[in-house]
Amino acid sequence: MDAKLSTAFWALLKRDLRLAYRHRNELLNPLFFFVLVVMLFPLGTSPEKELLMTMAPGVIWVAALLASMLSLDTLFRADFEDGTLEQITLSPHPLSVLVLAKIIAHWLVTGFPMILLAPLLAVFMYLPDEGIGVLMLTLAIGTPILSLIGAIGMGLTVGLRRGGMLLSLIVLPLYIPVLIFSANAVNTYLADLAIRGQIYFLMAVLVLAITLAPIATAAALRISLE
C-alpha cells in the first residue's frame, strides 16, 4: 500500500468513526437490540439454569447476527444519499481498499462492542466461565465476517428504497454457517471435546472474506451507482 493510498484509507476510517460518534443514537440501537434479545429470551422460554446454559451460545450468537444485520444500513446509506459514495467511487484509489476501511469502521462500532458485552450476557445466561473465553473468541473471528459479508449485500441494495427484505435474503444464507460453527464451538468445548476444526473453519472463512468481500462489495457498489 503506497503512501497516498494509506493516507486515504486511514482518513476514511477516521471519518467514519467520527460520524458514528456524532450519531450515537444510531450507534447504540444495534447494541441495545443485542442486549434486549438475550435478556428477554428467558422470559419467552424458561428461567431454568440448565436450559439457559445449553442455549446460551446459540442465543447470544443469533442476537449478534440480528444486531449486525440491523446496523448494516449505516454502512453505505448516508454516503449514498449525500453523494459521498459516488465521490469515493470516482476516487483514483482502489475502491476495494476504501470499502475495506468503511467495513473496519463498521465492525469497530458494532462488532467490537458486542464482544465486550458478551461476557455479561453469558453470565446472565449461566454460561460457565470456561465457555465465555471460547464465546468471545468465536465472536472476535465471526463478527468481522458478518460485517464483510453484509457489506456485499448492502452494496447490492444501497440504491433501493426498500431493500431490507432483499438484503436479508442475500446475507442470511451466508451467515448461517458462521452461526452454526460458532455456537457449536462453545458447546463442544463445554463437552470437553476439541474445537480446532470449528476455529480453523471460522478463520478460513475470515481470511476468504477479507480477501474477496471488499472486491465484491466494490463491484456491487459500481453496479448500484450506474
**pLDDT mean for each 10 residues of the chain (226 residues):** 80 88 80 91 79 89 92 84 83 89 92 93 89 93 94 86 78 92 92 91 95 93 82
How much is the pLDDT for 120? 93
How much is the pLDDT for 25? 75
How much is the pLDDT for 117? 93
Q: What is the DSSP-derived secondary structure letter of residue 91?
A: S
Furthest-apart CA pair in the chain: how many Å?
Answer: 58
Range of the domain at 92: 3-225
Number of domains in the chain: 1
Cβ atoms of 171 and 153 closer than 8 Å: yes
Cell numbers given for 43: 422470559
Q: What is the DSSP-derived secondary structure letter of residue 125?
A: T
How much is the pLDDT for 53? 86
Question: Which amino acid is it at 43?
Answer: L
How much is the pLDDT for 1? 60
Cell numbers given for 2: 503506497
Residue indicated by cell numbers 486515504: 8
Q: Mapping DSSP to helix (H, G, I), strand (E, B) and coil, where does residue 127 land?
A: coil
Cα–Cα distance, 74 to 200 (Å, whole number): 30
How much is the pLDDT for 74? 81
- What's the pTM? 0.91
